[in-house]
Amino acid sequence: MFAKLERIERSFEDLEKELAQPEVFSDQERYRKLAKTHSDMGEIVKVFREYRRLTQELADNKELARDSDPGIREMAQAEMAAIEERLPELEAKLKILLLPKDPLDDKNIILEIRAGTGGEEAALFVADLYRMYARYAESQGWKVEELSTHDTGSGGYKEAIASISGDKVYSKLKYESGAHRVQRVPATESQGRIHTSAVTVAILPEAEEVDVEIRPDEIRVDVFRSSGPGGQSVNTTDSAIRVTHLPTGLVVSCQDEKSQHKNKAKALKVLRSRLLQLEQDRKDAEYNEARRNQVGSGDRSERIRTYNFPQSRVTDHRINLTLYKLAAVMEGDLDDLVQALVSHYQAEALTRQAGA
């Protein structure tokens, strides 16, 4: 492990020298790529240097612990105890930082939330989750752009689709894909009975044109008039777009914009991301079959989380984590859930690597 870390440190130092060259700075595209690589390596180099510094201090204190002066020996032993407590933490962090990176982690995402069982109550929960993720994105300094919503006319959504862009969005939200269950008393329930509803969340890495090429002959574009809930007319022009990807049968509709061109651009953005996810799911399936391991297969039919309003409880079933802070979670306080999931899947990856 440490030979690999030393190679990374040398590469990091070489990059620093390269970035200082005037000819590199004058080529902004090259500079941007090198700067990103340098930034990605920065954390692991920082932790490695701290580990090496403490290892040297430990060796120095072991020498001092043999000093004839009892005061110096006592001081050295105290410092040794503190260092020996810190070193395993740094070593564990280095192992995680050395794990192979998911190439999609740096990507922005397409967030898709759809009502499942539960009728209007499920549609209302779609709106609640959409707001929850938007609030979390805001807390992270990310940008949320609404792409498409199908509202029910009573505050809920049959479907809500948005793009979220920022720093490493997919790396934090990729574990949110799955079935989310809500248990609460609907406002219309006069007997106070708890109803159970479900919605599905899909987190798709946003695909660039370089990631997924869509040829014009692979799609059919239909134009129609936008309409609101209950057939209410939204506008009087044929600006809504339905794009059908002929090879896969995927269909994306968008009618939120008054411009046909903008609706088509948004629909293609969603289509590219769905196609990228299809390819990713295919690779996951191959990997899982080869390893006989279903962890991280991306099966969205599995119930992953329950939001129980009477008990103010949210439970993530994959990691058996229960938090009694549902109000805060619904306001976008997802850090505890997100970090616990990231740590869990990092531990899974370390176990697989150790057994490989």
What confidence tens digit (pLDDT) does each residue in 64-85 have? 999 999 999 999 999 999 999 9
Look at residue 295 in the predicted model and tell me its pLDDT. Answer: 32
Specify the CATH number for 2-97; select among 1.10.3470, 3.40.50, 1.20.58, 1.10.8.
Answer: 1.20.58
pLDDT value at residue 192: 79
Angstrom distance (rounded) from CA 117 to CA 158: 11
3-state DSSP: the chain helix, strand, coil percent, rounded to 5?
50, 20, 30
| Phi, psi angles (nearest 5°) of residue 90 | -65, -40
Looking at residue 276, its pLDDT comes to 87
Cite the beta strand spans of the chain per DSSP E.
Answer: 109-115, 143-151, 157-165, 178-184, 195-205, 219-224, 240-245, 250-254, 303-308, 313-316, 321-323
- Fold for the domain defined by 106-206+308-356: Alpha-Beta Plaits (3.30.70)
The SS3 of residue 276 is helix
For the stretch 234-251, pLDDT in tens is 445 578 889 999 999 999
Of 219, 236, 218, nearest in space to 227 by CA: 236
Domain segments of the chain as ranges: 2-97, 106-206+308-356, 215-294
Supply angle C-alpha 278, 283, 289, rounded to 5: 125
Note whether 192 and 185 are within 8 A (CB).
yes
- Report residues of the chain scoring pLDDT below 50: 229-235, 290-301
At the top level of CATH, which class does the domain 215-294 belong to? alpha beta
pLDDT at 230: 43
188 token code pair: 């219309």
d(CA 225, CA 234): 8
Task: Please tell me the distance from the alpha carbon of residue 19 to that of residue 36, in angstroms, as a whole number.
Answer: 11
pLDDT of residue 24: 83
